[in-house]
Structure 1
């Protein structure tokens, strides 16, 4: 059957309603798509604006491996214009568009700079991104692995020096106690001549001194009988030939003193008895007293004479040892004072103003220090300011061992340290014979205000050229003295030829300081010197600088000093050079069904 007129009308109406619904759905979907495309294009334009701003980075910062862009109204407007131009270009393309940028499509930008290079976190992140690719090879091969091979020998030499000092202290303690015992023994002999009074207090003092001397003598014997420290695969070392008193020495000493005290008591008892007897019997009693007194006098004379002969010989030996030690100390201190001032040529009048700009109360270092909220640090190790040979020896051994212990560590600080050495000038970077293998990235040296001393300033942070180069020169000499002294200490003949531990140590120090002076001269000329205990390995000035950075530069002041130097050299305020931009956009496209609303998009663009 064919549908009636009413039925055909109903179907037509149903079809119109269905088509209308589909049309409305299509329009809504088109508006949704337009909304999504608006957001995508807005994000694209925002990123384009951000990249446009960051593309205008400072070329003068590139030689430091840094990327940072300034922000200004003119640059922001230019970036917005480029983004708008790109949006317009998209709308003119041949591809089908759901909206036309010229048809009621409006866009605004809000650009906010983020994360400037004056912030240590940002500054260090850029350093690490660069240095992690090139620093490990350079640093590991040139320094760490070299000195790391010498760590066992350095440790053995340090132990030998410490044990030798302990041995000398024990000998000094023993001899001082014997000096006190001899003084007390003489007083005992003098007091024993009388028939009255007690010698107990003198005997107590004598026993205390002898006990202290005997204990020290026993410790000396134990240490001498113990094997001396020896480096792996190295020659055997020996302690100096130190006198060790036999056990019966102290027994005889005590027995003799005890005999004097006993005979004195017998004399005192005889005198008391003589005073108590009747007068007619006094003669025999007094004869007995005189006999006791004569026996005591004779024994004391023999005992004291034997002791005096021993003490005279001991005093002569002690005087000779002190004379030898004084001569050896003088020889060592002569070498310690021979350090030359062959670095002062870099300290000119012009550098004084630059240091004031860097380190003054309102200087560039203070600016970055205050922003990053850290305490100022820097300077030479305080214990290195020793003037006498013994103190300098202790300091040099400790200093050298401390650096040796740090080798083998590769931390973030290591990469920052390598950055400082590669991008800033230092004492020998312009030497024609300097063996540059990787090459420094410092650009034109003329653009560096503190030529030949920047890395030293970063390391020590002292307020003058003279002070920073003095600190470097001092630590260079101390390290080389420590290494050369340790080299001498581990030679078997060093201990065998010495009469006391101090003579062995001072002789090694004199030879070590002499060799260190020669080493420093070679290093400052740009050449390399050998590393004790590591055959065929050498180190130059730059390598030593790396070691001192390992020791000193584990604080934030190092970063602040780098930032201050960069601003001094380039005139660029790192706090106004940004590494990221936050871009906010608002778009208001015309929709067919959905009520028009502003669409906000935010992106962060960074290097």
Structure 2
């Protein structure tokens, strides 16, 4: 038993000695132990005198033994076991072997961790070096752009060289000869590269820098210069109320004019009906009286009957005359017979006298029949004339009635709309501003009750219907009996009386309406004339650029900004930036201010600034951009403003706007984009006048003149206010363009708050904010002033560099594992290459 134990111990010592020698040899060759799969097997060399030495195989799943003859057995995991039961009792040397097998991997793992730490340290160092390089390269920004508070890296700058030097200077260089450095990495030659990503030609990049530049300064200016002066003082609210009143006044005036026009048409038609009544009543009364008399004389006789009777009478008279002639002949013959025929002659004379009496009687009857015949003919003629006249008059009356009804229908509809609108605006006008004045204006408007108009309409229809009865009585072909005469006369009198009653009832209101309209129109013409004189002066004062030679001295600059019209396809800087940002075609639209008429000037001015209060609700991005434009660029009165002590206010901006090539007109160009100094000044001048006109009109509307109120025309009140506002605005305008400050409002702020020309430009920029257009014009001016294409002024760059680090253990391990890259580390022999990128934006 003891011999077996010694033999087993010798075998263990010999086998582990050879295993250790093998591991040391492998370590000396590769620098690290050879790692095999999870089920690797360690074998002792052959040479034992016993018939096959059992070899322990270490794995995660257990232990197996295999002898030299090829047979194997599985055992529970153990480090080494002899077959003999004596080995189970003798474990001398097993702990040492166990510790050796544990410590060697631990030592190798420590080496691996050392390389990992060195690799991560180098990676962080390279990352910091690249970031520092990118930040340093951004220091080569354009000084010309920096004067505007903008930062752009020109393409011609040496950003790449700065990046390379900075990265190299921030890497741990290899140690001196014989020295030691834990991390010794260097930059791979030619790997440093800087790539620009965005530029100031991009609207979003430019806007972002402007917002960053103005985020502290703009809100303060907004509060002090605009919000406090316009909103908190009530000026913006009063402008809104005045604009609302003007819009309501225009709407009411339109309905009022429409109603009055239709009622005027109806009144004209009614006056024609009345005139026909005045003319027809005496005529028809006389003719009907004659008809009645003729009818009484004619009775039941007919024309044929009378004619036949007349013929019979005439025949009878002829017969009697023939008999008388015969008697006369007989008497002449008897007279020749002498006295003996005296008795016969006396008898003939008596007979003749009797016949003569019959002739006289017949002649009387014939005269009566002839008179009756004349009455019948006159009756027929008169009735024929009356039929034609009555029908014609009825047709005319019907036509007048239809015109009256059509006009009345439209007039009633307009009247209903007018009354409804008056009720709406009267109920909607709250306190303050122009409310009291508007209430008085609305109350003075002449109103018509719907029932009154309905009664008038029904009365005219009834009157014409009465005349229709007269026409029917005349034209029915029946004889005019006493009853028919009475009926016809009653209809005629009823028509005349109905028309007269309607005229009496409506004459006063209609004449009042007509007289009021005439007075209103005369007053409107007077106010328009007064305002027109001011507008003519304003239009003559538009401009201000001095062109002594007839050539615009800034023509070349405007051609650069907007393109030369003579060169096809030349859009200038502005068009190029609009196209680059895909903002659509270059915008040439400008705010509309009507200076051709008093009506248009007042309405357009108030409408233009009606939403000013809503715009002042909060500081917005648009105002940041607007304030950047006003502060960094020149305008008309730059250098003319004075402080309360009379000293000229000098611009302290680094951009030095007073020295820009587009002298004292850049902000106007940003606003309106005209192709000349005169064009931009004209539009700014007109809009400045419109603002002062709106304020003056709003002030005047709070206390309208009594004569304008009494006229009952809302538009007359507006025109009177526009006249007053225009006179004040003209005086203010001259002061503003010469650099003086004028009170924001003489009524609402008691002359305490004043604004300069520059402040009005702020308001106009805020009101006409068209971001793509404004940003493109700013970019065009920047390029003109700095001679730098903003497409090359980079605001965002990406830096990339590759560094190389010598590793101690990782290459062999990666080779053993069959890996070519690990965690961004690209092996190159015993070195590791790391590529780092960093992005940075101004």
The answer to whether the superposition gives a TM-score over 0.5 is yes
Indicate the residue corresponding to 1:328 in structure 2: 527
Q: Secondary structure at the match of 1:87?
A: coil
Indicate the residue corresponding to 2:478 in structure 1: 276
Indicate how the Cα distance of structure 1 residues 425 and 93 shifts in structure 2: closer, same or farther if over 3 A, else same: farther
Q: Larger relative contact order (C-alpha < 8 A, sep ≥ 6)? A: 1
Q: Secondary structure at the match of 1:401?
A: coil
Residue 702 of structure 2 is aligned to residue 486 of structure 1 = no
Indicate the residue corresponding to 2:632 in structure 1: 423
Give the total of aligned pairs: 599
C-alpha distance in structure 2 between counterparts of 1:268 and 1:63, whole Å: 96
Indicate how the Cα distance of structure 1 residues 18 and 367 shifts in structure 2: closer, same or farther if over 3 A, else same: same
Indicate how the Cα distance of structure 1 residues 88 and 217 shifts in structure 2: closer, same or farther if over 3 A, else same: closer
Mean CA deviation greater in 373-382 or 116-125: 373-382
Is this contact kept in 1: 2:173–2:185, CA < 8 A? no
Indicate how the Cα distance of structure 1 residues 252 and 586 shifts in structure 2: closer, same or farther if over 3 A, else same: closer
Indicate how the Cα distance of structure 1 residues 220 and 108 shifts in structure 2: closer, same or farther if over 3 A, else same: closer
Mean CA deviation greater in 321-330 or 566-575: 321-330
Is this contact kept in 1: 2:185–2:803, CA < 8 A? no
Indicate the residue corresponding to 2:615 in structure 1: 406
Mean CA deviation greater in 112-121 or 203-212: 203-212
Indicate the residue corresponding to 1:522 in structure 2: 735
2:197 corresponds to which of 110, 114, 117: 114
Q: Where do 1:181-330 residues align within 5 Å? A: 181-189=266-274, 193=280, 194-196=389-391, 197-198=394-395, 199-214=397-412, 216-217=414-415, 226=426, 229-232=429-432, 236-237=436-437, 238-239=440-441, 241-244=444-447, 250=453, 253-254=456-457, 257-258=460-461, 260-273=463-476, 275-277=477-479, 295=493, 299=497, 315-330=514-529
Residue 840 of structure 2 is aligned to residue 605 of structure 1 = yes
CA drift at 1:503: 2.0
2:228 corresponds to which of 134, 145, 151: 145
Mean CA deviation greater in 322-331 or 195-204: 195-204
CA drift at 1:18: 6.6
Indicate the residue corresponding to 2:673 in structure 1: 461
Q: Where do 1:44-123 residues align within 5 Å? A: 44-72=128-156, 75-87=159-171, 97-101=181-185, 108-123=191-206
Is this contact kept in 2: 1:164–1:239, CA < 8 A? no
- CA displacement 1:73-121 (0-9 Å, x = unmatched): 854235313432443668579997214458x986831221222111111
Indicate the residue corresponding to 2:217 in structure 1: 134
Is this contact kept in 2: 1:228–1:239, CA < 8 A? no
Indicate the residue corresponding to 2:800 in structure 1: 584
Is this contact kept in 2: 1:105–1:590, CA < 8 A? no
Mean CA deviation greater in 119-128 or 140-149: 140-149
C-alpha distance in structure 1 between counterparts of 2:271 and 2:523, whole Å: 29
CA drift at 1:437: 9.1
Mean CA deviation greater in 76-85 or 10-19: 10-19
Q: Where do 1:500-539 residues align within 5 Å? A: 500-532=713-745, 533-535=748-750, 536-539=752-755
Mean CA deviation greater in 185-194 or 592-601: 185-194
Structure 1 stretches lacking a partner, 5+ long: none
Mean CA deviation greater in 234-243 or 410-419: 234-243
CA drift at 1:376: 4.2
Indicate the residue corresponding to 2:768 in structure 1: 552
Indicate how the Cα distance of structure 1 residues 276 and 350 shifts in structure 2: closer, same or farther if over 3 A, else same: same
C-alpha distance in structure 1 between counterparts of 2:448 and 2:219, whole Å: 57
C-alpha distance in structure 2 between counterparts of 1:388 and 1:255, whole Å: 43
Indicate the residue corresponding to 2:311 in structure 1: none
Indicate the residue corresponding to 1:452 in structure 2: 664
Is this contact kept in 1: 2:238–2:433, CA < 8 A? no
CA drift at 1:600: 1.3
Indicate the residue corresponding to 2:60 in structure 1: none
Is this contact kept in 2: 1:160–1:228, CA < 8 A? no
CA drift at 1:589: 2.2
Q: Secondary structure at the match of 2:801?
A: strand
Indicate how the Cα distance of structure 1 residues 328 and 97 shifts in structure 2: closer, same or farther if over 3 A, else same: same
CA drift at 1:568: 0.5
Indicate how the Cα distance of structure 1 residues 559 and 92 shifts in structure 2: closer, same or farther if over 3 A, else same: farther
Is this contact kept in 1: 2:196–2:796, CA < 8 A? yes
Is this contact kept in 1: 2:626–2:762, CA < 8 A? yes
Q: Secondary structure at the match of 2:611?
A: helix
Indicate the residue corresponding to 2:545 in structure 1: 345
Indicate how the Cα distance of structure 1 residues 353 and 401 shifts in structure 2: closer, same or farther if over 3 A, else same: same
